Chain A
């Protein structure tokens, strides 16, 4: 129970709201995480800063068997996204992306790293953290396969960044390009250079910048359709209000509709003509 105004504000920030806060991510190392996995977690942490929490100690849990410790962590640090990295002989260089709904696991997808190029290995200029990235998903697997669709939704959630109403056009530098090809998923991060072209829209040149991963999809743990429906439900207050009695034509003309009461045409007040007024005598 809050005892100060400050703690009360802190708790209010964590309550469920109509317009939600940006989702925080927690990055956890498993019991045996090797150099690759640790470096991968660090790179994703730097992509996701400041909306991410990196757990320094190793946690010996298995997300696919027991989810209680993950749920406990998420409740403590108010994070609804998590990334768990581990390594063993059966599943080398393993990353589990997951998200929570109401502090219970909604879905988890396990990806194995085949090839990994870290941020340090690419010697290029970087941009400040917190820039909202442009996300591009290429490949028809993201439309046809159900698991790929869920992976697409999860990755959007993870890397989306805060929802803003305006964006500075010159500041659109970070591009994340995810391709699904041949059963593998290629994750590349580029810095976009806006070059002059003849017209207003600039020409894009890409520079390889950030971490790049080659993933293979391993196990998944998806929620039931009912849970998905509940999670996706938007409150009524957020739905845009429909304007009644206004309609638009094919040509773009705006039509309005007025509702009037029945008028007694015999007693309509038109122009006054004082001379025609009926006087008492007549």
Chain B
């Protein structure tokens, strides 16, 4: 009795094992081709059309899909797995199916003059740290940029070197030097771009564009004239050439520490103006405004008189509508004149 039951148990266990293995194995004539990188499977077996037609179509397709999916899943479970934040994740290989790109291959960026030189000499780029220790402020600061370490323009005390002129402003000297370096860097950057795009740039002076206006040409001449060693002092003019207008600083500011009495006088005058009861009048503006108003009035009178002449027994409604619609300002005047005219028309 016991023996039978043991045998039964063993047999049952064997059948269970077979069942389990059977459940995930699928028999196919031709092996499927897989592309696990893209999660794709290609089944090349010719489909059984007879079975398809006999059975319900959807059921047939579903069983076929189930078999194929089982094979694909089997393939995917063979991939190496790792655990990422309590989730089991399989590492996919590179996709093997060749698909067309959506955009063409990008052209490599044209290299700058420095990059070419470095390639020639074999200079490698050295990786630098982001932050640098600043001993003065005793903290880590950026290597370059806003609030950088070792910024010599921001020093509050500069010792005047013995060889330098005692009246020279050392602070502004450093600021000027920085501005020159920035301008030089910018110039080189633009020259690199121009070389990369094969645009011809003149050695000195403004680069020409087509259809230059008079002012642009004037500016180009001015720049060319002042690009000499003596900054244009000894360059002669052409026979009828005039000095260009609108050149120089647009706004002039008084120096910070100038003539004290002049400044005092200016401030007192300003206070007087604010105190006075008389309004300040800008004569030219007032005259212009008056002239414009007079022009408008005369024009309105002309139109009114011509409108009256042209109308011969027509209703004044048309004229008034025209008058009212056309002029917003003297619309009040036109409206006021409407009543007497209407009476005339009705008569």
A and B assemble together: yes
Q: Give A contacts to B, CB under 8 Å.
A: 15-18, 20-21, 23, 80, 99-102, 106, 132-140, 142-143, 153, 156-157, 160, 163-170, 172, 175, 177, 179, 181-182, 186, 188, 190, 192, 194, 197-206, 208, 212, 228, 230-235, 240
- Given A16-B106, A166-B91, A204-B73, do A138 and B20 touch, yes or no (CB 8 Å)? no
Given contacts A169-B81, A169-B88, A172-B76, contact A138 B99 (CB under 8 A): no
Q: Of A106, A132, A179, A198, which one neighbours B100 at CB under 8 angstroms?
A: A106
| Whole-angstrom CA separation of A86 from B330 in the bound complex | 61
Chain A residues closer than 8 Å to B105, beta-carbon distance? 16, 18, 233-235
Shortest beta-carbon distance from B235 to chain A in Å: 37
Total A-B contacts with CB atoms under 8 angstroms apart? 188
B43 engages A138 (CB within 8 Å): yes
Interface of A is mostly: mixed
- For the complex with contacts A18-B105, A23-B102, A140-B47, 16 further pairs of A-B residues with Cβ separation under 8 Å are A16-B106, A80-B103, A101-B103, A101-B104, A102-B103, A143-B42, A143-B44, A163-B95, A168-B88, A170-B87, A188-B58, A190-B62, A190-B65, A202-B24, A204-B66, A234-B101
Interface residues, chain B, with chain A CB atoms under 8 Å away: 16-17, 19-21, 23-24, 37-47, 49, 52, 57-58, 61-62, 64-66, 68-70, 72-74, 76-77, 81-82, 84, 87-92, 94-95, 97-106
Contact assessment for A179 and B40 in the assembled complex, using a CB-CB cutoff below 8 Å:
no
Is the Cβ of B95 less than 8 Å from the Cβ of A17?
no
Q: How far is the CB of B64 from chain A (nearest CB, A)?
A: 6
Return chain A residues, CB-CB under 8 Å to B38: 135, 156, 160, 163
| Complex contacts, B44 vs chain A, CB 8 Å | 140, 142-143
Chain B nearest CB, measured from A214 CB (Å): 9
- Our pick among B94, B97, B104 for the contact of A230 (Cβ within 8 Å) is B104
- Is A172 in contact with B24, judged by CB distance below 8 angstroms? no
Q: Which residue of B lies closest to A115 (CB)?
A: B57
What CA separation (Å) do A17 and B66 show in the bound complex? Answer: 39
> Do A182 and B49 touch (CB < 8 A)?
yes
Please give, as numbers and ranges, the residues of chain A lying within 8 Å of B66 by CB-CB distance.
204-206
Name the one of A136, A202, A212, A231 contacting B101, with C-beta atoms under 8 angstroms: A231
Residue contact A15 to B106, C-beta cutoff 8 Å = yes
- Bound together, the chains give a CA A224 to CA B88 distance in angstroms of 45
Do A142 and B42 have beta carbons less than 8 Å apart?
yes
User: Which listed residue (A106, A169, A200, A231) contacts B89, Cβ 8 A?
Assistant: A169
Contacts of A208 in B (CB 8 A): 58, 62
